[in-house]
């Protein structure tokens, strides 16, 4: 499989680079800089949501950098590997020095850390710029709004606090913690470089297995400076600096309206039958969730 850098250098020669930047609503940032990287990161998490709609609809999705970038260009998002793969493609095309890393995901605070060596990787990025490594991740949905300097410390962005520290799991690397807990509790990130091939087999599992969380649960998420918007099943939740709200989406028209208007997704690739089948699946899962009583919160 070709190295991702090969894709990036070729990508810079095409008109598609401008299409990607247009999707983000930004002009060409010029020579690589910390300010440019921050601007691109902010725009990406605000305009390109985490989403698994095609996976839920049983539609094959790409994991290669060029295919992931093409998804963004035509108005779609993706899950962590796809979003960070696409962003790597964009940054490389703009001249940034970017490295991919394997990362293990700790889904909940009570769960044990997951080594990046285990077959369940998250794709994280680092960017070397002005003598400093930066931790870059546009694939967490409700995670980073801007890159973090890759050094131990506690960082505040909007209502969320993040911490970077040396990892105790797996090979040498870094630990990323998020508080309060969102879609994940933390990551253990290997410092060694990774390639696209490291994520291909896991992508197939995530996209097709009934054991995959992406197959079991519809989730759409986006960040902004003040917090995050999360659509899980039929529940739309806003987490902000001082407020938290939640409402149930009760109709198909309303649900697709939220996807296009709040999350900015272009869903013209889904035909009428696919839309109906996806909504039926989402609503049935939501009704089972309501019947189970798990919607009743017991934690503060």
Confidence of residue 7 (pLDDT cuts 50, 70, 90): very low
Cβ count within 10 A of residue 31: 7
* Rounded Cα gap, residues 86 and 65, in angstroms: 5
* Cβ atoms of 127 and 37 closer than 8 Å: yes
Residue 256 in any domain: the answer is yes
Name which of 161, 190, 165, 166 is nearest 178 in CA terms: 161
Residue 233 in any domain: the answer is yes
Q: 282 lies in which domain range?
A: 210-292
Instruction: Using a cut of 0.85, tell me whether the model's pTM lies above it.
Output: yes
Q: Per-residue pLDDT for 136 more than 90?
A: yes
Place of tokens 């999350």: 263
Residue 217 in any domain: the answer is yes
Residue 83 in any domain: the answer is no
* Rounded Cα gap, residues 57 and 44, in angstroms: 24
- Burial of 243-281, coded b for 16+ CB within 10 Å and e otherwise, reads eeeeeebeeeeebbebbeeebbbebeebeeebbeebbee
* Rounded Cα gap, residues 157 and 155, in angstroms: 7
* Cβ atoms of 116 and 171 closer than 8 Å: yes
Phi/psi at 262 (nearest 5 deg)?
A: -85, -40
213-271 pLDDT per residue, tens: 888 889 999 999 999 999 999 999 999 877 788 999 999 999 999 999 999 999 998 99
* Cβ atoms of 224 and 238 closer than 8 Å: no
Domain tally for the chain? 1
* Rounded Cα gap, residues 113 and 187, in angstroms: 8
* Cβ atoms of 148 and 162 closer than 8 Å: yes
The mean pLDDT of 264-286, rounded to a whole number, is 94
163-196 pLDDT per residue, tens: 999 998 877 899 999 877 678 888 999 999 999 8
Residue 52 in any domain: the answer is no
31-65 pLDDT per residue, tens: 999 999 999 999 999 999 999 999 999 898 999 99
Residue 121 in any domain: the answer is no
Residue 70 in any domain: the answer is no
* Cβ atoms of 181 and 168 closer than 8 Å: no
* Rounded Cα gap, residues 68 and 82, in angstroms: 5
Name which of 38, 108, 23 is nearest 69 in CA terms: 23
222: CATH: 3.30.2140.10
Residue 222 in any domain: the answer is yes
Name which of 67, 61, 59 is nearest 2 in CA terms: 67
Check residue 194 and give its pLDDT.
Answer: 92
Give the helix ranges, DSSP H, for 94-225.
197-208, 213-216
Confidence of residue 118 (pLDDT cuts 50, 70, 90): low
């Amino acid at each position: 499989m070709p190295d991702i850098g090969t894709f990036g250098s070729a990508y810079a020669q095409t008109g598609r680079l401008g299409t990607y930047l247009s999707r983000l609503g930004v002009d060409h940032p010029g020579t690589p800089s910390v300010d440019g990287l921050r601007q691109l990161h902010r725009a990406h998490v605000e305009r390109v949501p985490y989403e698994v709609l095609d996976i839920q609809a049983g539609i094959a999705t790409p994991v290669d950098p060029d295919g992931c970038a093409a998804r963004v260009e035509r108005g779609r998002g993706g899950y962590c590997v796809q979003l960070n793969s696409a962003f790597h493609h964009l940054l490389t095309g703009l001249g940034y020095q970017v490295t991919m890393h394997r990362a293990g995901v700790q889904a909940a605070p009570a769960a044990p850390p997951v080594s990046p060596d285990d077959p369940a990787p998250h794709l994280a990025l680092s960017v070397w710029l002005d003598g400093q490594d930066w931790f870059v991740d546009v694939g967490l949905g409700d995670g980073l709004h801007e890159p973090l300097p890759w050094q131990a410390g506690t960082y505040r962005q909007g209502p969320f606090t993040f911490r970077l520290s040396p990892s105790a799991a797996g090979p040498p690397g870094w630990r990323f913690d998020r508080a309060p807990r969102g879609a994940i509790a933390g990551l253990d990130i290997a410092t060694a470089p990774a390639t696209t091939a490291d994520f291909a087999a896991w992508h197939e599992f995530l996209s097709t297995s009934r054991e995959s969380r992406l197959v079991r649960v519809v989730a759409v998420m986006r960040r902004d400076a003040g917090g995050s918007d999360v659509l899980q099943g039929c529940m739309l939740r806003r987490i902000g600096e001082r407020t938290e709200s939640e409402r149930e989406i009760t109709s198909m028209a309303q649900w697709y309206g939220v996807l296009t208007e709040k999350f900015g997704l272009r869903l013209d690739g889904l035909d009428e039958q696919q839309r109906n089948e996806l909504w039926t699946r989402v609503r049935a899962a939501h009704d089972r969730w309501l019947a189970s009583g798990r919607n009743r919160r017991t934690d503060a």
